[in-house]
Amino acid sequence: MKNYALSILLVVLCTLMTNAQHKGNYDQISRQNILHSGNATIYNPTVQQQINKVLSPSTSVFIDVKALQNVEATTYTAIFNVSQIGATADSTNLLMNERIDKVKNQLKSLGITEDNFAIDVISFVPNYEIEIQKKLFSKTYTEVPNGFELQQNLHIQFTKTNQFESILTACAKSEIYNLIKVDYYIENIAEVYKNLQTKLLKLIEEKKAYYKVLGFDLANYNVAIADDQYCYFPKDFYQSYQAFNSVSFEAIKKKKGVTSAKKQTSYYYQPLSYENYDVVVNPSILEPVVQIGMNIRLQYTPKPIEEGPKPIVKTEIKHKYYVVSPNGTLDIKALNTNN
């Protein structure tokens, strides 16, 4: 009996540990998005509003379709800032070239050749120091050059994400630590948009057939259209959070102050959510990707009912005139209007 109870306890503990591994620290800062109502079930209010949404019927028909495609980058470009100082202009430039050549030689084994490197010179300026000249009754402070500072941006192009770790290691060995950014590039973006367009047009035809079954023949409607397309890169979707707990019960008991420490800020990649999309191409992603989207909105309004031709009604009025003679007699004459 003891072994049976122990087995159940181990299963429960393993389940809790497995759930914890998938939970992560992000949940520590996400609790403000969850409502607690007494002992009620925890729920997302946004989802509840969507479920309980009241639909409003309309004589107009709207077809709203959205498509998203996750595209892995064809090439990447990592950009590092490199700073070098030296006693003379020549020595400064020489030291800079030695550091960069060292990086190039280490990355040749990865297939990153000379053509995958580019140098962007940012500044090359002299540095000054203050020289004090003492005279009998005064001091003179004079700025004199004591060296030079050269700043360059090193661009390194690569094709596989697993090469980036080796690039960081090679740069660190040459004391290059300042990574500015990593740019993503994709080829044939027009083909991606064309693929999304094809899928949306197919979906629109399916929706039109659906409305026809409901009794709405959209051929009898006037149509208005609006469309949009966009492209987002991973740098646009990094968010930050801090996961820590600063409560100290020991300090409260001893009535002692707490010296706060600097908390590390963590970053994570949060791509576009799929919940508002009708079509998602390559939905399962392992690494940050370029997200390309397209939206089409159609509005159908009933055509006005055409009225038949109105009958032409001719009104004929016969005019008469009266002639009075000098002797007072009255003579009635018909007015001829055909002339």
pLDDT digits (tens, 9 = 90+) for 203-234: 999 999 999 998 888 888 999 999 999 999 99
User: Model confidence at 140, in pLDDT bands (50, 70, 90)?
Assistant: confident
Percent of the chain with pLDDT over 70: 72
Measured distance CA(268)–CA(243) in Å, rounded: 12
Measured distance CA(102)–CA(94) in Å, rounded: 12
The stretch 56-70 carries a mean pLDDT of 90
Nearest residue to 129 (alpha-carbon basis) of 149, 148, 143: 143
Q: Which residues contact 205 (CB under 8 A, 6 or more apart)?
A: none
Range among 74-78, 145-149, 261-265 with highest mean pLDDT value: 74-78
Measured distance CA(59)–CA(218) in Å, rounded: 12
Determine the length of the chain.
Answer: 339
| Choice among 229-243, 255-269, 275-289, 318-332 with the minimum mean pLDDT | 318-332
Question: CA distances (Å), 90 to each of 50, 153, 334, in order?
Answer: 68, 19, 122
User: Model confidence at 40, in pLDDT bands (50, 70, 90)?
Assistant: very low
**Given this model, what pLDDT does residue 18 score?**
45
The residue with tokens 């084994």 is 109
- The β-bridge partners of 332 are 322
Q: Where are the domains of the chain?
A: 75-185
The stretch 135-155 carries a mean pLDDT of 81
Per the confidence metrics, is the pTM higher than 0.85? no
Measured distance CA(24)–CA(30) in Å, rounded: 11
- pLDDT of residue 122 exceeding 90: yes
pLDDT digits (tens, 9 = 90+) for 242-261: 776 666 666 666 666 666 67
The stretch 91-115 carries a mean pLDDT of 93
User: Model confidence at 145, in pLDDT bands (50, 70, 90)?
Assistant: confident
Determine how many CB atoms are found less than 10 A away from the CB of residue 293. Answer: 20
Q: Residues of 256-271 as b/e, b for ≥16 C-beta within 10 angstroms?
A: eeeeeeeeeeeeeeeb
Question: CATH assignment of 75-185, given 3.30.70.2970, 3.30.465.10, 1.10.3480.10, 1.10.10.10?
Answer: 3.30.70.2970
- pLDDT of residue 99 exceeding 90: yes
Instruction: Decide if 277 contacts 67 (C-beta within 8 A).
Output: yes
- pLDDT of residue 177 exceeding 70: yes
**Strand-pair category, 61-71 with 279-281:** parallel
- pLDDT of residue 19 exceeding 90: no
Q: Residues of 62-84 as b/e, b for ≥16 C-beta within 10 angstroms?
A: ebebbbbbbbebeebbbbbebeb
**Given this model, what pLDDT does residue 115 score?**
93
